[in-house]
Structure 1
């Protein structure tokens, strides 16, 4: 009986958690984003001081769910040319030329998404000032 109750609670919790994530419209993400490549141990202060072209770039998420300017730096970091994007309930996915997902940026808070490239490197997407 205890086993059945535990399974029921787990299933109910998973269902309520999944239903609490809302899928935003693509228009909520369209626009310019600053992409920053940092190490996991960097602080917000050191991130704001990084202005080398190899560490930051502006990326355009176009309303038609393609990527505009800034794709070159993302391609260098990801190892594959990004072509498109789409929203997910818990982040933003970037797609390659075949339409398959090549990167997922996890939502940290409103306007900030991250993707770990390795144990040392992290890409942060932050909504650029309009």
Structure 2
């Protein structure tokens, strides 16, 4: 019998998060995922340095978290990997996303 992934609510994912380069934990950004408007605040500029575009928000998905621009364009996708999320930005850059506080 096949199982399907459950879409987490914004309330389940909202809170304090931290992202760092897998190969160098000192390259770190902290930010907050907000429920209202799916805003990403307090570190969007920092996260944008690894992307082509300005980060404005986020969207929960059944298998991860999508980071989006103001226009709603997906800039990055973090897939769930047990107790954290990861995103391979390029051949030599993988970002790890972990919750730091609800």
Secondary structure, aligned partner of 1:82: coil
- Give the structure with the higher percent strand: 2
The unaligned stretches of length 5 or more in structure 2 are none
Which residue matches 2:18? 34
- 1:59-70 to 2 correspondences below 5 Å: 59-64=31-36, 65-70=38-43
Partners of 2:52 and 2:75 within 8 A in 1? no
Query: TM-score, normalised on structure 1?
Result: 0.71
* Pairs aligned (count): 101
The two structures, once aligned, show a CA RMSD in angstroms of 1.6
Kindly name which structure, 1 or 2, has the bigger radius of gyration based on alpha carbons: 1
1:113 pairs with 2:85: yes
**Matching residue within 33, 51, 62 for 1:89:** 62
Instruction: Give the deviation of 1:38 after TM superposition.
Output: 2.7
Q: Which has the higher helix share?
A: 1
**TM-score (norm. length: structure 2):** 0.89
